[in-house]
Chains A and B, each alone.
Chain A
Amino acid sequence: MTASPAIDSLKAAAEWQRTVSPAPEWLQELKSASLSKFLAAGFPTQRAERWKYTRLASFARKSYALPGAQGGAGLALPAGAFRALEGPRLVFIDGCLHEGLSDTGNIPGLRITNLETAIGEDNRLVREQLGRIADGDLHQFTRLNLGLLGGGAVIEVDRGVEIRQPLYLLFMSQAADAPLVANPRILFRLGERSSIKFVEHHIGEPAADNLVNLCGEGIVGQGATLEYYAIHEDTGGSCGLSSLHLRQAGDSLVRHNSVSLGGRMIRNDVHSRLEASGASIELHGLYLAGDRQHVDNHTLVEHCAPHTTSSQDYKGVLQGRGRAVFNGKVLIHEGAHGSNAQQSNSNLLLSGQAEVDTKPELEIYNDDVKCSHGATVGQLDKQALYYLRSRGIGEETARVMLTFAFAEAVIQKMAIAQLRERIEENVIRLLPASERIRTFL
C-alpha cells in the first residue's frame, strides 16, 4: 500500500549503507527497526492529521540516493553562509559533516564531537539519547533520519559554563544528478546552569531537489538557557524537514526563533517537554511564502510539571500562491497546576490566491492554569493604516511600512545583531516594494 519510488529507493539506500558503512550491532538494530517502521507507514499523506494541509506526494514520487562521501579539500564555505557570525561552526553538505569547513573552536566547557566518531567511541550521550527524545509515532521522519543516519554532531556544554559565541550549524543542499536524501542528526546536552546559542541555517542551490531531513534531540539541564535560531533561507526545490525535540529540566529556559524565508517545501517541528517546575519556552516564528512555496510550522509543548510556562508567537506573510500551515499545540498534563501557556498566530495575506491553514490547539487536563490562544488571518491593521496616513504618509507607503513592520516585529526579538541585519535585508528583498521600504529605513 505504501510502495512508491521514494520508499523503494530509501530501502535500497539502507541496504547500501549497511554494506559500505556498517554500524555497531546495537545501533544497526536500532536503525533497522526504525527504518522498517518508517517504510511500513510510508510517506505521510494528507489523511494523517499532522499532515492534513501539507502534501508530500511529489516528494514521495522521487527516487533518492545517498550523498557521496564529503571532505574534499577544494570545497569553500558556501556563498550563502552567515560569514559575519563569529564562533564555532559545523558545516553539513547534503547532511554530511564536512570537517574541513567546520571549526569547533576549542572552547573550554564546550565539547563537540563528530557523530560518527562518537559512535565509534561508544559515547555515553549517544547511547542514552539517540532516538530517545524524538517521538517516532508523532514525528515519522525522525525514524527515517535514524534509519538512514547521515552525519551529525554531539554537543555537550559543561555545567555552569556560558558559551558566548553562537554555535553555527550550516546545512547546505547541493544540486545533484539525482535527488539526494540527507539525514543529519544533532544530539546535545546542556549541563546545569549552562547556556549556549545555536544557529541552524539551511540554504540550497536553486536547482537542488533533495530531501533534507534534520533531527535534533537535546536535554536542557536545570537552570540552563538555550537560545535557538532555526533559519531556512530559500532552499531551492528541496524539501526541508527540520525537527527539534527537547526535554527541559526545572528552571531551564529555551528561546526559539524560527525564520523561514521560502523554499519549495519547508516543514518545521518543535516539540518540547517541560519536565520540572520553572521550565519555560518561548517560541517566535516568522515565515514568508510566495508562488510555489509552502511553509508548515508544527509545535508541541507539553507542560508535564507545575509552574511551567510557554509562549508561542508566529507570524506569516503570504504572497502570490504561497501556502502556509501553523499548528501549535499545547498539552497541559494532569498535575501541571499553575502553568501558563500563551499562543498566537497571525497571518498577512497580500494576495487573494495565498492560503493559510492555522490551528492553535489546547489540551488541558488540569484546573488552575492560565492559557490563551488566538489566530488571525487577514489584511493590515486599519487603525495603524489610518494613524500613519493621518501623519501625511501616503496610503501605499503606509501599507508597505506596515507589511515590513509585521515581519520586523519578529526579527527584533532576535538577540544576535548580525542575524537580525541579514534576515531584515532578506525580508525586504522578498517583500513587494523593496525599494520603498529602503527609503524609510
Chain B
Amino acid sequence: MSDSILEIKNLHATVAGKSILNGLDLAINAGEVHAIMGPNGSGKSTLTHVLAGRDGYEVTEGSVCYKGEDLLQLEPEERAREGVFLAFQYPVEIPGVNNVYLLKAALNAVRKHRGESELDAMEFLALIREKMQLMRMDESFLNRAVNEGFSGGEKKRNEILQMSVLQPTLALLDETDSGLDIDALKIVSEGINSLRHPERAMLLVTHYQRLLDYVEPDFVHVLSKGRIVKSGDKSLALALEAQGYDWVEKEPVSP
C-alpha cells in the first residue's frame, strides 16, 4: 500500500456559524487523484479552504492528518511550505504585486523551509520560463499584477503555473475547470496531468464531469450536505453526469 498523504476523519466545520461539513471522512494516498463532486452548497469549496487554513473556517469536530501530522495546527503559510497547495476557484486580484514577485517570494519561502538555498535571479527566471511554456503563457505575464485584469482562463492557468513552480505534495484544485473554454481547459488539464506523480496526491473539486475527461481520477466521491455519500471509480462521474445529483442524494448512505 502507498504512503498516506491525507486522512480526514469525521470532519465538522462551520462558516459564520453555519455548519457546512458534517462528518466527512476521506483518505488519500500518494500517487492518487481523487475527485469530489457534488451539488452547489454541498461543502466542496469549504473543504478545500479548511484544508488550506482560511480564517473564519472553524473546525468543530474531527481531525485532519497530513503526512502523519495534525494539519489543523498549522498556519496557512506553514501548510503551503509543507506542500499543501490550493488552486483557488476565484483567484484573488492583487494590484501592485507583480506575478514575478509573488512567484519568487513563494518559491524561496518553500525552498528555505525545505532547507534548500534560495534561487538567484537567473536560476529563478530559467525555471519560470520553462513552466510558463508548459502553460503557454506569454513572457509579459511576469510583469503584470497578480490576476489583475486576467481573463477567467488566464487566472486558472496562473494557478496551475504556481502549482508547477511550488511542486506540492498535496494539490487541492477547487473548480479549476469553471469558466474555461475548451482550449483553456485542455491547457489547464495538460498542466495538471504533467504534475501527476507517484509521490504527489491530488484532490479535484468539480461540479461537472467535463474536467475528468482530461484528468482521469482514480477515485470519485460524491459530497452532499457536508458528507461523502458515495464513492467509486471514474464511472461514478459518468453516472452522475447522466442521472444528476438527485440520484445519489436520495439513495441511503452506505455504511
Binding site for B on A (CB under 8 A): 381-384, 386-395, 397-398, 401-402, 404-409, 412, 440-441
Contact = CB atoms under 8 A, between A and B. Distances in A.
Nearest to B104: A440
Q: Which 5 A-B pairs have the closest CB atoms?
A: A405-B96, A408-B96, A392-B80, A409-B96, A391-B106
B77 A394 contact: yes
A390 B53 contact: yes
B86 A392 contact: no
A174 B134 CA distance: 58
Nearest to B86: A390
A372 to B, nearest CB: 18
A392 B81 CA distance: 5
Contact of A395 (B75, B81, B101): B75
B92 A392 contact: no
A386 B105 contact: no
A415 to B, nearest CB: 16
A441 B91 contact: no
A395 B79 CA distance: 13
B185 interface: no
Contacts of A409: 95-96, 145
Nearest to B168: A392
Main secondary structure on A side of the interface with B: helix
A248 B76 CA distance: 52
B150 to A, nearest CB: 13
Given A389-B53, A390-B86, A405-B145, 11 more contacts: A384-B94, A390-B80, A390-B85, A392-B77, A392-B166, A393-B102, A394-B77, A395-B75, A397-B105, A409-B95, A412-B96
Nearest to B87: A390
A441 B79 CA distance: 24
B75 A387 contact: no
A384 B101 contact: no
Given A382-B55, A388-B102, A440-B101, A393 B96 contact: no
Nearest to B97: A405
A347 to B, nearest CB: 15
Among B80, B97, B145, residue most surrounded by chain A Cβ atoms (within 10 Å): B97
Contact of A392 (B94, B106, B146): B106
Interface string B65-87: 00000000001110111000110
Nearest to B77: A389
Given A389-B80, A390-B52, A391-B80, A401 B92 contact: no
A395 B105 CA distance: 12
A383 B166 contact: no
Contact of B76 (A383, A390, A406, A440): A390
Nearest to A394: B77
Given A384-B94, A392-B81, A393-B109, A441 B55 contact: no
Interface in B35-85: 52-55, 75-77, 79-81, 85
Contact of B94 (A389, A397, A405, A412): A405
B109 A386 contact: no
B162 A391 contact: yes
A110 B96 CA distance: 36
A387 B94 contact: yes
A244 to B, nearest CB: 26
Contacts of A383: 92
Given A384-B94, A387-B92, A390-B86, A441 B101 contact: yes
Contacts of A407: 96
A405 B146 CA distance: 11
A408 B97 CA distance: 8
Contacts of B145: 405, 409, 412
A402 B86 CA distance: 20
A387 B91 contact: yes
Contacts of B88: 387, 390
B110 interface: yes
25 contacts: A381-B92, A386-B55, A386-B92, A387-B94, A388-B97, A388-B105, A388-B106, A389-B75, A390-B53, A390-B86, A391-B80, A391-B109, A391-B166, A392-B110, A392-B166, A393-B106, A402-B96, A404-B96, A405-B94, A405-B95, A408-B95, A408-B96, A409-B145, A412-B96, A440-B105
Contacts of A440: 101, 104-105
A431 to B, nearest CB: 12
Contacts of A382: 55
Contacts of A381: 92, 94
A393 B105 contact: yes
Contacts of B77: 389-395, 398
Among A382, A387, A408, residue most surrounded by chain B Cβ atoms (within 10 Å): A387
Contacts of B101: 401, 440-441
A412 B96 CA distance: 8
A178 B75 CA distance: 57
